Amino acid sequence: MARVGIDRKNFFRRVAMFLAILGPGIITGSVDNDAGGITTYSLAGAIYGYGLIWTLIPSFIVLVVIQEMNARMGIVTGKGLADLIRERAGVKVTFFIFLGLLFSGFGNTMTEFAGVAGSMEVFGVSKYISVPIVAFLVWILVVKGTYKIAERIFLIFSVSLLTYVVSAIMGKPDWSEIGSSIIRPKMAITTQSLAMVIGLVGTTIAPWMQFYMQSSVIEKGLKIQNYNYTLIDIVVGCVVTVVVAFFIMVACGSTLHPQGIVISQAKDAALSLKPLAGNLAAYVFSFGLFIASIFSATILPLATAFFICEAFGFEAGLDKQWNEAGEFYVLYTGILVISALIILIPGAPLIAISLWSQVINGILLPVVLISMMILINNKKIMGLYVNKLTNNIIGWSAVIILVALSLALLVIPFFEKKG
Amino acid sequence: MTAYTTFYLSGIIGKEVFDTDGEAVGVIKDLLINSIPGASNDSGRQIVTAVKLKTDKGFDHYSFEYFSIQKERERIVVTCKELVKIPEEDVLNGMALVENILDKQIVDLNGRKLVRVNDIRLVKLSQGTYPLAVDIGIEGLLRRLGVSQPIKRFLAIFRINIPAKFILWEDVQAIDFSNLNIKLSKSYSKLHTLHPSDLADILEDLGKRSSMRVFSALDEEKAADVLEEMESHAQVHILENLPVEKAADVLEKMPADEVADILDELEDDRAEVLLKEMETESSNEVRELLEYEDDEVGSIMTTDYLSFPASKKVEEVLLELRNKKPEAWELYNFFVTEKDDELIGTFDLRDLVVAESSHRISEIMNTEPVFLLDNQKVGAIAELVSKYDLLAVPVVDDKHLLQGMVLIDDVVEDLIGERRTKRKSR
């Protein structure tokens, strides 16, 4: 009732302040459009025009189905996904998954800092200035920060998502062509285009999201009575993800693609927009990239450190002192600092880094999904709320498609060598 | 040869068992102990009673008596003279170490928190084999992964030790078990030794089903204390899932203002059901408090206070207190009222103790007490409490009739919040 007390609980409680305003699904959906995502969507737009926009539809369905399962598991069990996997699968499987999650956490955080570096370079700021400052600010915000600051930053972020709509419209896209390319996708199946599709799906459905979604639902104290509300929240979140992805692809597809401009980073997309859609469009695009990178750089290392500690039983949470939760702080700080430092190495192989973190995500995702499918069909854990047949059909087909895509990703290089 | 052998659970799970002829008979899947640590059938010392083996015929529990575990040059060898099945009842009464303890959360009674079990250390003595401690450290994890020795040797070059983290078996309260024959209320008896606020933290961190199970096992007094200490969404979860009668019994043991706070968070139907189930006297107090808006002083005041007429003598009041044995917080401040509960003064424990026993309350009371109005905003409390250094402030209505009192305990979080913002803005 009138308890306006200070919140002392763990980090999710802090994040929960966001969630009080916007639901777990919307947050997850927004963090999903991070620097890696923006890069991949830009590349897809630049290379294939509107040709790959259709992939957003199946991605959307799978995204909704997976997140619904996470939310349901969180609501019913009150336990995090890391907890459940550890308790059912034992140390070895858990270790493999979390080693992967740690690497992907590093990879993703590096991608975020690369996004910070790239977007600031468009404004003429050297990465040797922007990256250390951002890393420091993020660390301070998380370790010493308050809700109010974090809240405001999130508001800026969600507004910045609109910038992609602006940049897309500035590129004067041909809407009827976009429409027909979604309804009747024309795509030459080459190894390159297949790799792009894998990249798009991989960046939209990331393994860490499953853990994050489930924990946020628990931290928000959602009940099965709120299930319908939760479902709406998830659908809205997934719509946000897909709509932003759509406009980024449109922005690049309508300007860069007809000119045949080849880009390799999101920054290139912004720079190439300058002559085609004007300085403002380029700045707006970079600003979105910058904010998205910071936001994800705040959440990702924190979430990664938290889940690893959860799985292995270390104390975790920002309410704990350094001497209580040493592993947590070392992990969190380590991921942040090392990622920032690697980006600062002159001539760091940014593209290779983002490629490799996508490969790790691609391998990890099926493993996490299979664990989830097994857990959610276990009556001992889920009781009445085990998967229905339709959930299982969509869930398992998603797993099979993703495994097939990941395998394809591993096999493609061999074909390319032959060819 | 030493009189005892210590080994790790991880060291024998998955091991092949040989008979006296050296033939393999099966693979060890689990060890069974005779009782649940922390439960009332806890004999003080758990002993390993059976081995769950996977043989050609499937899974079964075999009496540990015929097994022998030996360390031969740092390698563990398990042999079995004879396979003797144990009665089904013993399996149900016992507890499986892998299924119920390993990788699960347990309560560390000494450290008063939840921890996750990475491994279990056992000792084999001449009288039997006992669990010694649970390993919750990194070393246990590495051992499970099979890389403990190489990593330790490697780190030794740099003189780095992996610190071992063990919890003695006596300090372990198992949480996650479902095979129980014994009564639920007896399964968590060791938890009663914990402070309610520690117990509340532990319950919040447990999964939904486990937290309900542990909570249901507490007696009403303890349950009330624990519920009071929990975060509001955890309170809601408990009250929604507890049987109505039990929930009402627990609520009756709590101060009315706390109950009002909790019921306010519940859905109206459920709150009404609980209020109906409670005794009328308690529920009426709660209903009155529920009338107040969230941000009004009335919503957080307690209606349990002590008031006396001004004509009473000090010795009479002291005697009354001795007989009544009020709660500690009821002694924070005493009120002096006229016939209609009109507040005319206050006095505190010091005033009472240092006064002559023949004095009347009217002589020792403060006739111009600081007070709050029941419809005032709660924001006013913190300022008043810190300004006048009060432990409890009387609350009156617009006719100056005493309605209750606000305790510093209930506003302390706001006070800390205020301090903090002050410090930050500096």
Nearest residue of B to residue A96, measured between CA atoms: B145
Cβ–Cβ gap A313/B420 under 8 Å: no
Nearest residue of B to residue A90, measured between CA atoms: B103
The per-residue pLDDT for A9 is: 47
The per-residue pLDDT for B31 is: 92
- Percent of chain A exceeding pLDDT 70 equals 87
pLDDT digits (tens, 9 = 90+) for B362-374: 899 998 888 999 8
Compare A176 and A22 and report the one with higher pLDDT: A176
d(CA A375, CA A252): 41
Task: Find the distance separating the first CA and the last CA of chain B, reported in whole Å.
Answer: 70
Would you state the structure tokens that stand for residue B331, as one six-digit string?
Answer: 């002694």
Q: Identify the residue whose tokens are 């039983």.
A: A313
Q: How many residues does chain B have?
A: 426
CB B260 within 8 A of CB B288: no
Beta-sheet strand order (sheet of B402-407): B372-373, B392-396, B402-407
Chain B residues whose beta carbon lies within 8 Å of the beta carbon of residue A323? none
d(CA A19, CA A22): 5
The per-residue pLDDT for A370 is: 92
H-type alpha helices, A162-226 = 162-170, 175-183, 191-204, 207-219
pLDDT digits (tens, 9 = 90+) for A313-331: 888 777 677 777 888 889 9
Angle at the Cα of A232 from the Cα atoms of A228 and A234, rounded to 5 degrees: 115
Cβ–Cβ gap B115/A79 under 8 Å: no
Residue A377: pLDDT band with limits 50, 70, 90: very high
A10-24, A249-263, B142-156: segment of lowest average pLDDT: A10-24
CA-based nearest residue to A145, from A14, A13, A308? A14
The per-residue pLDDT for A402 is: 80
pLDDT digits (tens, 9 = 90+) for B395-411: 998 888 898 898 888 77
pLDDT digits (tens, 9 = 90+) for A98-148: 998 999 899 889 989 999 998 998 898 998 999 999 999 888 888 876 655
Residue A193: pLDDT band with limits 50, 70, 90: confident
Cβ–Cβ gap A86/B116 under 8 Å: yes
pLDDT digits (tens, 9 = 90+) for A15-36: 554 455 456 787 788 788 888 8
CB A316 within 8 A of CB A309: yes
Chain A residues whose beta carbon lies within 8 Å of the beta carbon of residue B261? 1-3
What are the Cα distances from residue A363, in Å, to A202, A404, A411? 10, 11, 13
Over chain A, what is the mean pLDDT?
Answer: 82
Residue A373: pLDDT band with limits 50, 70, 90: very high
**Residue B113: how many other CB atoms lie within 10 Å:** 16
Q: How many residues does chain A have?
A: 419
d(CA B61, CA A402): 41
d(CA B281, CA B288): 11
pLDDT digits (tens, 9 = 90+) for B192-202: 888 999 999 88
Chain A residues whose beta carbon lies within 8 Å of the beta carbon of residue B136? 313
Would you state the structure tokens that stand for residue A183, as one six-digit string?
Answer: 């309804």
d(CA A150, CA A137): 11
The per-residue pLDDT for A8 is: 42
Assembly ipTM: 0.73
d(CA B273, CA B14): 53
Would you state the structure tokens that stand for residue A235, as one six-digit string?
Answer: 């659908």
Would you state the structure tokens that stand for residue B425, as one six-digit string?
Answer: 């803005």
Whole-prediction pTM value? 0.77
What's the 3-state SS for A65-80?
HHHHHHHHHHHHHCCC
